Amino acid sequence: MKIKPVDSKADLNRFISFHYDHYRGDRCWIPQLRLDVKHTLDPSKNPFFDHGKLQAFLAEDDNGRILGRIAAIVNGMHLKKYDDNVGFFGFFESVEDHSVTDALVQTAGEWLRAEGLTAMRGPANPSLNDVAGLVVSGFDRRPAIMMPYNKPYYDDYLTRSGFERAMTMWAFYVHEKYAAFDKLWRGRDIVLKRQPGLTIRTIDMSRFDEEAAAILDIYNEAWSKNWGHVPMTDREFAKVAKDMKQVLDPDLILIVEDEGQPMGFAISLPDINQALRHVKDGRLFPTGLLRLLAHTKMGTISSIRMLLMGVRLKYQGRGIDSLLIANSIENGQKRGYESAEMSWVLDSNQRLINNLEAIGGIRDKEYALYEKQI
């Protein structure tokens, strides 16, 4: 076995394609669109590379067959905020052979050490603001939009390679059939009665760029004290907003204002993974787009993912999060969605966990981020 750096277009294509070969036939795997993956790894298309750098590696056997892959990642915004010499790894995949994982991890660690870093955290693809984390329970259920999926043995392999769990995250699932929404509606009424200056509305698509800028400003403040948070740059968020705009439902993007000033938001998206699972190889052309459109129009999508919520620091602890959850679920019901996933929720966010469990939310999937000294 040998580990080789990805330093050509051909190798990059092999790096990307291995993921699809590795999971083909897995009924719970949802193929990410190949074009999205290519753009994520392209410095000319992904503004992460304005401050970050990445080196991808492939593991091959003696016949040139790919056994695994990994990327070593330097996140400049993380280092600017924390100054902790932590690097990252991502895009990790391995056949069921721990020696492959061990060799990939060692190679990524050596590359990061040469960059002056002393620890490695992940998986992040390429940052925690992207698809990140490892599934450790819930393998019998498909991931929601923009959530990871992986082989069950990865947790064991990374642990045996010296990683320790840095953070546990949860995906909560709520279905209208058994959720105690009455509690949610009552809580919302109490919040609005106590704070009569609050109003909640949906995004104004005619002012999309202005609304997105307000959401970014709130997000970077609201999440500033959360574990692992790294602020998004204007260009990074502009890319995220552009990508989301292709699939968003305006009724599911909420903004809370106090006397007309935005101070909180929630972003939920239709879970298009319910349709993407029919695009078997991640290619929209020549037939994947037709399959995707057909299943979307047939009403295949019955769930939403509430993926991002934030409230300005001075308003936190005043029930605004419950208000946002209530209206997100209510608007989703009006649009015909039957269920919602809230993910991910940090294990340290006990207040939100308590609120979700109080309305009948269940811990549907468990995720983890890992770290080791290098």
Domains contained in the chain, CATH given: 2-170 (3.40.630.30), 174-366 (3.40.630.30)
Beta-bridged to residue 200, according to DSSP, are: 256
CA angle 131, 45, 135 (to 5 degrees): 10
Which residue bears the tokens 């990307």?
16
Q: How confident is the model at residue 81 (pLDDT cuts 50, 70, 90)?
A: very high
Mean pLDDT of the 33-50 span: 96
Q: How far apart are the first and last CA of the chain?
A: 22
Residue 284 reports pLDDT greater than 70: no
Q: What is the pLDDT of residue 289?
A: 41
What is the value of pTM for the model shown?
0.93
Q: How confident is the model at residue 299 (pLDDT cuts 50, 70, 90)?
A: low
Which residue bears the tokens 């934030």?
310
Q: What is the pLDDT of residue 288?
A: 40
Q: How confident is the model at residue 278 (pLDDT cuts 50, 70, 90)?
A: low
User: Cα(340)–Cα(303) distance, rounded to whole angstroms?
Assistant: 5
Bridge pairing between strands 164-175 and 339-346: antiparallel
Beta-bridged to residue 317, according to DSSP, are: none
Mean pLDDT of the 150-163 span: 99
Which segments within 50-163 are labelled E, that is strand?
52-60, 66-75, 86-94, 119-122, 124-125, 131-132, 134-137
User: Cα(148)–Cα(182) distance, rounded to whole angstroms?
Assistant: 32
> In 10 A of CB 154, how many CB atoms?
20
181-194 and 320-334 helices cross at what angle (nearest 10)?
130
Token couple for 83: 């100054």
Bridge pairing between strands 164-175 and 134-137: unpaired
Tell me which of 270 and 294 has the higher pLDDT: 270
> In 10 A of CB 234, how many CB atoms?
11
320-334 and 350-358 helices cross at what angle (nearest 10)?
40
φ, ψ of residue 328 in degrees (nearest 5): -65, -45
Q: What is the pLDDT of residue 297?
A: 45
